[in-house]
Chains A and B, each alone.
Chain A
């Protein structure tokens, strides 16, 4: 100790101060930029944006003649586009975070970002803590063609964003959606039956002991355990068919009463004893290599897992259990600490969201990361549905015939016959309807009724009497994908779930401070080793 004190004479102290000053100057010096350039600090999930550098054979040539390829990282393309469109220079400082909690911690430590992309519950938390600034009115101006977000966002998603509130404010005001999906179970149908995978209790099923992975985060684990705990109630016909089902269901899946937490703890312990592991990332690979036969997964990763497995000729399936799944979103929010009152910055941030929402860019991101964009495209823009068809439409002679039929524009009878034809081929192909995502539900709900093709053909014949039915039909028909019979449990089902699946998905709200403490304590208890019990 004494040697240190001797070192600390005046000259030494002076030197320390000097070097500290130098260091600070060095660090802050890097941040300085010339005044004409706006710096936009963006923080996004890892590997959650197109980084470009595609091979030429990865080019996506859509049937409508459009072609999409990623050459440069998306944020660099944005800089160029912004300069061309607005005549102003912007520099994107792009960084990544690993989990919502990491992002939140980074923000509390004092890292400042302008635009970040957390999940819905973190958006709610940040909104509740008054850390966000709302999007400006001109962001929602549909007249402006450069406002790709408001013109292209799926009406279904927009409706959810506009009808969920924190306090008096809707999410839609503070957050612009980016990717969305469900949670469910990826499984190997040769070992795990479809019926078993249709319930959350597959995760505690002794039949698959040590061959199932569970998500290593308290919210996802809690949700699945709730599904097991409330299985009887959630699958009861009287509950499912009740008029206020969606409302009551959402309440049930956000139940954090003490007795429920205690019950969930018990189930999670069983899950820990039964699972192969609690994983954050390894589950995908373990599924493909066959170490596990089922894993709890987010839909986007499910798509990735299934497509990886299919390269090895392994067919995997994905299902949102019957009790219900978690409907999640990642969205762009602007931070008060970062943007402050800087209108240039805010404009750049909003333009960044708009640029990502341009349909060709949405496709680039979807292709690159495997998740589903919230963008459906403007009504007169077919790119997104064309991309879905490019991926999933069955390529057979019949499909081509059908295409020819459509252009010939024959009478309604023909349409009816056509769907009857398909009903015969039921085993191989189905009509997969995702119009709810593309058309405003008020117009679209009429055209859509139930899941299988027979219902649709019924619908069409019933609608014949309606005057404006032709228009509605053709509108909705455009969003029906002629796809393989197993699509519903395949990649298509994971990427664009059917309306039936969506109906049994609820948004899981953020836990307030008190609840969060209780639930985290419960989680620690589950994961710890207690020799005294």
Chain B
């Protein structure tokens, strides 16, 4: 048999990757989430989660943190990305580099430095665990918000903006009626990249001396107590939340096309 490499074969590495590191783990997580310690099918894990004030409280607490972090990130990132996209040539690439460089430095190092800075400003960090967590996470996730927004803003055809002003729209109107709607996909991808990590990244939480669990710490806590089932259950809950969020945001962005994508998901 003669074996020819066709174009479709190029997807093999990715399919393999997908099978091994995405599909297989999800199946394992599903198995654990719906079984008890003895391997019997059960939904008790989920019932337990949604009937306990502590775990539901933790879910709300994480959602709240993630919401605030995401909002702060959007509010900070959008103007920066907007200004960057309006710049020209070398100045623009230099500034962009300045925003990317922090990502090349290990985040433990960055957070340790941030801790020292905040200690000087606040005195005792332990009195403001929530505030510090939000600051720490924003600091860490901000580049993930800037970059997608910046990319979409750069891609917007200038003629739309020019046309709008030619037809008599004020600069504010141009921004809110043309630029902002056209940059929504960038904002959405930014939110996707910030929201879920902000719900689960408990390393930042620990480093900022916040002793209250978020969803990620809960998974870690269950796993270190050898409780794979509860830990997997939390992961599934998070997966469900992010799926719902994706569908929801897609519906609100750009009509039918997005709805189609949502349906595929």
Q: B261 to chain A: closest CB distance in Å?
A: 12
Contact digits for B210-236, partner A, Cβ 8 Å, 1 yes 0 no? 111100011001111111000000000
The complex places the Cα of A48 from the Cα of B51 at a distance, in Å, of 43
How many residues of chain A have a CB within 8 Å of chain B?
A: 41
Q: Indicate which residue in A272, A516, A524 contacts B218 across the interface (CB closer than 8 Å).
A: A524
Q: B132 to chain A: closest CB distance in Å?
A: 11
The complex places the Cα of A58 from the Cα of B18 at a distance, in Å, of 51
- Is the CB of A275 closer than 8 A to any CB of chain B? yes
Contact digits for B15-56, partner A, Cβ 8 Å, 1 yes 0 no? 110010000000000000000000000000000000001111
Contact digits for B196-220, partner A, Cβ 8 Å, 1 yes 0 no? 0000000000110111110001100
B130's nearest neighbour on chain A, judged by CB, is A529
A520's nearest neighbour on chain B, judged by CB, is B225
Residues of B within 8 A of A19 (CB): 12, 16
Q: Indicate which residue in A211, A276, A516, A529 contacts B225 across the interface (CB closer than 8 Å).
A: A516
- Is the CB of B93 closer than 8 A to any CB of chain A? no
Cβ contact within 8 Å between A528 and B11: no
Q: Which chain A residues (400-438) contact chain B, with CB distance < 8 Å?
A: none
B11's nearest neighbour on chain A, judged by CB, is A7
Cβ contact within 8 Å between A275 and B126: yes
Cβ contact within 8 Å between B218 and A210: no
Q: Which chain B residues (100-151) contact chain A, with CB distance < 8 Å?
A: 119, 124-127
Contact digits for A1-28, partner B, Cβ 8 Å, 1 yes 0 no? 1001011000110011001100000000
The complex places the Cα of A278 from the Cα of B225 at a distance, in Å, of 17
The complex places the Cα of A300 from the Cα of B231 at a distance, in Å, of 32
Q: Indicate which residue in A4, A99, A278, A282 contacts B224 across the interface (CB closer than 8 Å).
A: A99
Cβ contact within 8 Å between B57 and A105: no
Cβ contact within 8 Å between B57 and A11: no
The complex places the Cα of A102 from the Cα of B61 at a distance, in Å, of 27
Cβ contact within 8 Å between B124 and A101: no
A20's nearest neighbour on chain B, judged by CB, is B16
Cβ contact within 8 Å between B124 and A210: yes
Residues of A within 8 A of B12 (CB): 12, 15-16, 19
- Is the CB of B9 closer than 8 A to any CB of chain A? yes
- Is the CB of A86 closer than 8 A to any CB of chain B? no
A-B contacts at CB below 8 angstroms, number: 102
Most chain A CB within a 10 A radius of its CB, from B16, B126, B210, B222: B126
Q: Which chain A residues (45-98) contact chain B, with CB distance < 8 Å?
A: none
Q: Indicate which residue in B3, B60, B221, B223 contacts A524 across the interface (CB closer than 8 Å).
A: B221
Residues of A within 8 A of B126 (CB): 210-211, 275-277
Cβ contact within 8 Å between A524 and B224: no
B129's nearest neighbour on chain A, judged by CB, is A277
- Is the CB of A238 closer than 8 A to any CB of chain B? no
Residues of A within 8 A of B55 (CB): 524, 528
Q: B6 to chain A: closest CB distance in Å?
A: 9
Cβ contact within 8 Å between A211 and B124: yes
Cβ contact within 8 Å between B211 and A527: yes
Residues of A within 8 A of B9 (CB): 11-12, 15
The complex places the Cα of A9 from the Cα of B207 at a distance, in Å, of 50
- Is the CB of B264 closer than 8 A to any CB of chain A? yes
The complex places the Cα of A11 from the Cα of B55 at a distance, in Å, of 48
Contact digits for A275-300, partner B, Cβ 8 Å, 1 yes 0 no? 11111101000000001000000000
Most chain A CB within a 10 A radius of its CB, from B55, B224, B227: B224
Contact digits for B224-251, partner A, Cβ 8 Å, 1 yes 0 no? 1111000000000000000000000000
A-B contact pairs, 29 of them (CB 8 A): A7-B8, A7-B11, A7-B15, A11-B3, A12-B8, A15-B12, A16-B12, A16-B16, A20-B16, A99-B224, A101-B225, A105-B223, A105-B226, A108-B226, A210-B127, A211-B126, A216-B206, A218-B225, A272-B211, A276-B209, A291-B119, A520-B227, A523-B221, A524-B213, A528-B54, A528-B58, A529-B57, A529-B58, A532-B56
User: Can you add 6 more A-B contacts, CB < 8 Å, to A6-B8, A276-B209, A278-B211?
Assistant: A276-B125, A520-B227, A523-B225, A524-B218, A529-B60, A530-B53
Interface residues of B (CB under 8 A from A): 3, 8-9, 11-12, 15-16, 19, 53-58, 60-61, 119, 124-127, 206-207, 209-213, 217-218, 221-227, 264
